[in-house]
Amino acid sequence: MICAIVLAAGCSKRMGTQKLLLPFGKSTVISHIVNQLTKSKVEKTYVVVGHQREQVIKELSDKPIGIIQNPEYKSGMLSSIRAGIRNIPQEYDAVIIALGDQPSITTELIDKVVQNFSSTDKNIIVPKYNDKRGHPILLSTIFKNEILTNFDDIGLRGILQAHDNDIYEMNVTDQSVIADMDYPQDYQQEIERYENRNEEIS
């Protein structure tokens, strides 16, 4: 079984406002991301909250998800990854780490990650666009203790460096896997990408 962990605990300092609650499509950034995940083949989606957690939890109150609180969110992304991995049930074989500020990811992308984990013998799946690795990343839970105890200085990159031979690079044609939202101009680009994609579909 595979679950997803959405990292939604950051302070959004560079955006100047809580970016997860910004309007996106018919809802908000975080709601849109969670919707994509809950429609996918993952068994369960968990959201790690920290900064303005009450507002984020309220925004997601109608979603079939689990909430994990990270009291150490100010120390960085790795603390949220650890909080998520530490608190998910033991039965999962793998976990997809999704960024809370990457609203252009799609259910189809998530399903492709899940499919590749099932069809390869690798324990790490990383999407890749134009030779650049991105997110969401799938990790086998065999790495749980290693993530919880190592890589304080470099975060998730440490697990990729330590197990480079165990990575399946999933080439994609959508640059959303390398895009996230740190600044207002990034948010505008994500809005434009979403609108353009919807125009192509319609």
Instruction: Please give the model's pTM, rounded to 2 decimal places.
Output: 0.95
pLDDT average per 10 residues of sequence, the chain (202 residues):
96 87 95 97 97 96 97 93 96 97 95 97 97 96 96 93 97 91 92 83 58
Supply the pLDDT for residue 108. Answer: 96
Determine how β-strand 44-49 pairs with β-strand 66-69. parallel
Domain holding 95, by residue range, is: 2-201
Number of domains in the chain: 1
Supply the pLDDT for residue 202. Answer: 52
Supply the pLDDT for residue 129. Answer: 96
List the one residue out of 62, 64, 49 whose CA is nearest residue 18. Answer: 49
CATH number of domain containing 185: 3.90.550.10
Supply the pLDDT for residue 161. Answer: 96
- pLDDT per residue as tens digits for the range 121-177: 999 999 999 999 999 999 999 999 999 999 998 999 999 999 999 999 999 998 899
CA distance 80 to 77: 5
CA-CA-CA-CA dihedral for 9, 15, 21, 26, to nearest 10: -130
N-terminal to C-terminal alpha carbon distance within the chain:
34
